[in-house]
Amino acid sequence: MVMVLAVIKLGLIFALPGQKNQEEMQPVEQKNPMLETRLALAAPGDNNEVDVAEVEEKDIPREVQRLREREAELDRRERNLRDLEKELDEKLEELRALQAEVDEMLKQADVVRDEKIAHLVNVYSNMEPPQAAAVLETLNEDIAVKVLAGMRGREAGDILTNVNPQKAARLSEMLTDLQLPFIER
């Protein structure tokens, strides 16, 4: 790309009005690299003579126009990329706000769940152990474990003695694996 620009610049220097004749500006032994490349690419055995001045005059404006069009296209793409980047930044900010909202909602849900578990702990603690055991056996094991974890050890033990031995063993194992923050009683 730099080479093409340099060749175009040299061509423009030669083509500008008011400048010295091309022969005066460029010694005979210097050659235009762009022209040399085009001549080298010409098919061997081509009998047509190529006029150097004619090739330069025709090619330079086309190359300049092509480069201007390319520059305009690149500018358009750059603007589009900036617009897309701005849009992505806005979407990212919206997502961050939504994530913060969801996190807050989850915290509130955890608080509500903990309050409900605390209420169940209170209810089961105030029941007779055989009644509490009968109801506890029908509960989802995860909830039953959380309720038992919230009770004092003696209360939970009294209830577990009235629970089916296999279920009591599973609940006890789950209690040891449970990682709950302490619930205030």
User: Residue 90: enclosing H or E segment and its boundaries?
Assistant: helix 52-125
For residues 147 and 136, the answer to whether their CB atoms sit within 8 Å is yes
pLDDT beyond 50 at 172 = yes
As a whole number of angstroms, the distance between CA 51 and CA 158 comes to: 110
pTM above 0.85, yes or no: no
Average pLDDT, the chain: 77
For residues 148 and 159, the answer to whether their CB atoms sit within 8 Å is yes
Output 16 or 70, whichever has higher pLDDT.
Answer: 70
For residues 163 and 135, the answer to whether their CB atoms sit within 8 Å is no
Rg (CA), the chain: 43
At 177 the pLDDT is 84
- Token couple for 132: 């509490």
pLDDT digits (tens, 9 = 90+) for 21-48: 444 444 444 455 555 555 444 444 444 4
pLDDT digits (tens, 9 = 90+) for 94-105: 999 999 999 999
pLDDT beyond 90 at 7 = no
pLDDT beyond 60 at 58 = yes
Q: Calculate what percentage of the chain has a pLDDT beyond 90.
A: 34
